[in-house]
Amino acid sequence: MAIGWYLSVSAIIFCIGSAGVLTHRNPLVILLCLELMLNAANLALVAFSRMWGGEDGQVFALIVMVVAACEVTVGLGLIVAIYRRRMPIDVDELNELQG
């Protein structure tokens, strides 16, 4: 298949993910949608790596996966801490970090 197909799939998944981030209020689901977007990027990277013939894209994708894992870890830790403080798990309520 031409690379373009893979890239469009990646684009579609990316935009679905961003739509999810913009609409949900539960931080857990937002993190899930963030994972979607990261995966879409991974797909694009691997597709280009196939196109160019070097494995650099795949290495990049692996690093992205590492970063995603770390981010999920810390994010979920935050959510657990919020839950423990008995604060609402709702990004619209958690808005104290403002100007």
Site for another protein in 28-57 (CB under 8 A): 28-33, 35-36, 39, 42-43, 46-47, 49-53, 55-56
By the rule CB under 8 A, 87 interacts with another protein: no
86: left (phi over 0), alpha (psi -120 to 50) or beta: left
Q: Tell me, what amino acid is at 49?
A: S
Report the b/e string of 62-76 with b at 16+ CB within 10 A.
Answer: eeeeeebeeeeeeee
By the rule CB under 8 A, 78 interacts with another protein: yes
CB of 47 to another protein, least distance (A): 6
CB of 61 to another protein, least distance (A): 5
By the rule CB under 8 A, 22 interacts with another protein: yes
By the rule CB under 8 A, 12 interacts with another protein: yes
Instruction: Enumerate residues 6+ apart whose C-beta is below 8 A from 89.
Output: 26, 27, 28, 79, 82, 83
CB of 89 to another protein, least distance (A): 6
